[in-house]
């Protein structure tokens, strides 16, 4: 009954507020309520009325104010907030963020809008269509009414290229247009398609040496008099096109200025040291950069035809080096009969600051009831060997303090360092690979060490080494390949408390076993996006101990060793797919599917702890804390969370879906449902309840909830409230818990209402 009173009350408030808006409008004006488009059409027009209205609406101006249930709420805010006294005051801020000025009837010009509608329809091939506009008014509002009659759309009949005489440029354009053109006989006539074809042909010619060509030099004439609602398109080169636009240009020289700045005096040759290397001219005051860097980065050489693809690739490669903050190129024609149709290319590169240092202090809380802090410091040299190689040294330390009573005595501390050397090329000993793609290849060699202690139980030492290549074939795809990925972990200072627990549960001993990972890793990612759909795909293959197992003949658990330490053997395959469907310009429906499968074998019965799949938390199952669910039907106890550094499985299945709805430009909300779990291949770590079986689908956990997202431009802060809907650790028949939801019960909220704070979207 309470809801029945609330809705009429809300409508009454809107009605009263609407009257207040009317009183605030200038005398003699009305609020513009938008355009009403009435369609009549020839019987042969196939396009639906709704589709035509959506198209025609693009030509109607101005746009009306925003309304909710017929109430112009942003205009109401505009007047209620009032005129700000200061440009940067609170009123100015509130008006900018939450209000908008009224759109009044004096801004409506139905004659001009009707002409725009006719022009739009003409440009889309609906020739001879007409539009007539008028306005209608009531006490408070004014509406523009457009009566539009639509004639059938004309189709392309023939695309011809004409020339007064034999012309190699016209022949080249015609050949490419027939092979790759956007204009096809039988397709509807659209002016936008003609414009796009002119721009495409210009880009094509830029790859064939026509440096001075411009799309405006192409003329397109539409002949719609041939009958049967068809159009012939005639293309030609304008007579006003300058002679240089018809010529093919070659590259005569390539000069590089690696230490360019506005204060440099390039006109003084005595201040510049010149070096010739691989057909390039390198001019710099100090030899801060190796000549090989420019030979690897520049994708073309003198005596080649000008090609915009190589030019753009070179610019992008320079920018992606990270060693230069400004990159500019310049093309000059060379005078003289001996240098006809030749270009001198110059690259002006302004180096960024070579060394930098950055420190940060972070505070955090974890889903497993730990809070803590982390201090880190990064030092970077962006040109350590003169070839834009980056040396990055990171040192960090932190602590985690448990809030739960059962974990308070088991605080965690960690400290570590990471050293990474990044090469903007393939760095392979005794082998030099040359590539000229749009994005430069990268090689990273990384070392790491971390000291980690669980105060009550043990101390662990982690050592890591990785040798990795990164390649971006296109802007929306990337390969990562680490032929060598090694890690070693051992435990020390194991306490009697731990051994007492291990006597009751021998699987705990796995957490202190030393182990090496002799790995190789490969991944591929790809994404694409258009107005309605967005896809992201990532797959990875992680291998360890395969060659070592073959050489040593490993067959049984921890049987064979590498440097006196058992090595892990496993194959791990990951698949991550994201799909977002945009329901309209603002609302989107986002989905994610993650499937992970690790198969330990021979020398291993389970994946190493660092490779286990985990589930739960702010970007996973948001109705469960991380480490509080799974694998399988296991419900980890507080003791499990204290003893094991990671609780997870060898296999993972996760599905997320959420509806994202913006409220304002900076604030949005979402409704979500998450489902998934992890499982182990063996009973070694977490017993039989964690092992996967044919009934794994009965152990799927489900949670749901809603969240708020605040977009602060530089970062997005996310608040999600999740509740469990299905708990796999409960007995059969009682796993679904939707009927037990009780927000009014304090005990229920404490156990089931999970609040997540995170940076960025969950997927």
List, as one string, the DSSP characters of 249-296. Answer: -EEEEEEEETT--TT--TT-GGG-EEEEETTEEEEESS--S-HHHHHH
Q: Does domain 612-763 have CATH number 1.10.150.650?
A: no
- Choices 3.10.330.10, 1.10.260.40, 3.10.20.310, 3.40.50.2300: CATH for 250-351: 3.10.20.310
- Cα–Cα distances in Å, from 42 out to 218, 249, 602, 712? 34, 52, 75, 51
> Is the pLDDT assigned to residue 368 strictly greater than 90?
no
**CA-CA-CA-CA torsion sign (701, 702, 705, 709):** positive
65-69, 366-370, 692-696 — most confident range: 692-696
- Superfamily grouping for domain 155-246: membrane protein fhac (3.10.20.310)
Contact yes or no for 354/383 (Cβ under 8 A): yes
Confidence of residue 86 (pLDDT cuts 50, 70, 90): confident
Contact yes or no for 36/147 (Cβ under 8 A): no
> Is the pLDDT assigned to residue 8 strictly greater than 50?
no
Query: Which pLDDT score is estimated for 585?
Result: 80
- Cα–Cα distances in Å, from 731 out to 635, 728, 741? 12, 8, 18
pLDDT tens column, 441-471: 999 999 999 999 988 899 999 999 999 999 9
> Is the pLDDT assigned to residue 667 strictly greater than 60?
yes
> Is the pLDDT assigned to residue 18 strictly greater than 60?
no
Q: In a 3-state reduction of DSSP, which class is residue 655?
A: strand
> Is the pLDDT assigned to residue 338 strictly greater than 80?
no
Please list the residue range(s) of the chain that carry CATH number 3.10.20.310: 155-246, 250-351
Averaged confidence pLDDT in the chain: 90
pLDDT tens column, 568-601: 999 999 999 999 999 988 899 999 999 999 999 9
Among the ranges given (178-187, 521-530, 631-640, 647-656), the one the predictor scored with the smallest mean pLDDT: 631-640
Token readout for 54 is 């959506």
> Is the pLDDT assigned to residue 549 strictly greater than 60?
yes
Q: What is the reported pTM?
A: 0.79
Angle at 258 between CA 254 and CA 263, to 5 degrees: 115
């Amino acid at each position: 009954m309470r809801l029945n009173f609330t809705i009429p009350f809300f409508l009454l408030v809107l009605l009263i507020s609407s009257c207040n808006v009317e009183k605030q409008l200038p005398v003699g004006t009305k609020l513009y309520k938008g355009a009403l488009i009435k369609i009549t059409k020839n019987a042969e027009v196939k396009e639906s009325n709704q589709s035509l209205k959506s198209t025609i609406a693009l030509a109607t101006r101005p746009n009306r104010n925003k309304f909710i249930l017929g109430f112009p709420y942003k205009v109401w805010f505009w007047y209620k907030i009032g005129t700000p006294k200061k440009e940067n005051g609170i009123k100015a801020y509130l008006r900018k963020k939450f209000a908008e000025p009224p759109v009044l009837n004096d801004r409506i010009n139905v004659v001009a809008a009707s002409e725009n509608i006719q022009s739009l329809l003409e440009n889309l091939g609906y020739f001879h269509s007409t539009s007539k506009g008028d306005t209608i008014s009531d006490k408070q509002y004014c509406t523009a009414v457009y009566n539009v009659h639509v004639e059938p759309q004309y189709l392309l009949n023939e695309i011809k290229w004409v020339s007064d005489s034999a012309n190699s440029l016209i022949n080249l354009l015609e050949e490419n247009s027939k092979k790759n053109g956007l204009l096809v006989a039988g397709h509807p006539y659209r002016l936008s398609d003609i414009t796009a074809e002119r721009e495409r042909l210009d880009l094509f010619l830029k790859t064939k040496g026509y440096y001075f060509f411009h799309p405006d030099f192409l003329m397109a004439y539409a002949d719609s008099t041939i009958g049967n609602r068809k159009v012939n398109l005639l293309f030609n080169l304008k007579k006003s096109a300058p002679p240089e636009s018809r010529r093919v240009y070659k590259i005569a020289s390539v000069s590089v200025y690696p230490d360019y700045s506005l204060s440099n005096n390039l006109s003084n040759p005595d201040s510049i040291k010149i070096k010739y290397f691989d057909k390039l001219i390198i001019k710099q005051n100090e030899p801060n950069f190796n000549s090989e860097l420019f030979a690897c980065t520049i994708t073309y050489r003198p005596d080649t035809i000008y090609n915009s693809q190589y030019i753009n690739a070179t610019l992008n490669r320079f920018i992606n080096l990270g060693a230069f903050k400004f990159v500019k190129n310049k093309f000059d024609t060379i005078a003289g009969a001996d240098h006809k149709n030749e270009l001198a290319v110059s690259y002006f590169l302004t180096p960024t600051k070579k060394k930098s240092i950055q420190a940060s202090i972070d505070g955090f809380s974890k889903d497993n009831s730990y809070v803590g802090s982390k201090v880190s410091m990064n030092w970077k040299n962006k040109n350590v060997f003169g070839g834009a190689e980056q040396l990055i040294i990171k040192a960090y330390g932190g602590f985690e303090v448990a809030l739960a009573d059962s974990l308070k005595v088991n605080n965690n501390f960690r400290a570590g360092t990471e050293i990474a050397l990044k090469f903007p090329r393939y760095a392979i000993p005794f082998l030099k690979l040359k590539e000229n793609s749009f994005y430069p290849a990268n090689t990273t060699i990384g070392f790491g060490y971390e000291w980690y202690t669980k105060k009550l139980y043990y101390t662990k030492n982690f050592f890591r080494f990785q040798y990795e290549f990164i390649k971006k074939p296109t802007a929306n795809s990337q390969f990562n390949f680490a032929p060598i990925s090694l890690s070693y972990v051992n435990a020390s200072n194991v306490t009697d408390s731990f051994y007492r627990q291990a006597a009751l549960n021998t699987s705990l001993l796995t957490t202190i076993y030393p182990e090496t990972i002799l790995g190789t890793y490969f991944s591929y990612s790809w994404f694409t996006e258009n107005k309605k759909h967005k896809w992201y795909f990532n797959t990875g293959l992680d291998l360890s101990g395969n060659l070592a197992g073959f050489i040593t003949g490993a067959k049984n658990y921890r049987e064979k060793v590498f440097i006196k330490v058992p090595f892990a053997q496993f194959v791990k395959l990951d698949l991550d797919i994201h799909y977002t469907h945009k329901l309209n310009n603002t609302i989107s429906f986002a989905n994610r599917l993650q499937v992970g499968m690790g198969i330990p074998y021979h020398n291993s019965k389970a994946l190493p702890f660092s490779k286990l799949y985990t589930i739960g938390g702010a970007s996973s199952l948001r109705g469960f804390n991380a480490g509080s669910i799974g694998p399988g039907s296991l419900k980890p106890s507080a003791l499990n969370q204290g003893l094991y550094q990671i609780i997870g499985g060898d296999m993972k299945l996760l599905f997320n879906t959420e509806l994202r709805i913006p409220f304002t430009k900076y604030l949005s909300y979402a409704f979500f449902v998450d489902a998934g779990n992890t499982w182990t291949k063996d009973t070694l770590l977490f017993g039989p309840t964690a092992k996967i079986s044919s009934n794994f689908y009965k152990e799927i956990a489900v949670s749901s909830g809603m969240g708020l997202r605040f977009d602060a431009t530089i970062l997005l802060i996310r608040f999600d409230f999740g509740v469990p809907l299905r708990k796999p650790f409960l007995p059969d028949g009682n796993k679904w818990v939707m009927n037990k939801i009780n927000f009014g019960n304090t005990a229920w909220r404490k156990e089931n209402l999970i609040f997540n704070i995170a940076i960025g979207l969950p997927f």
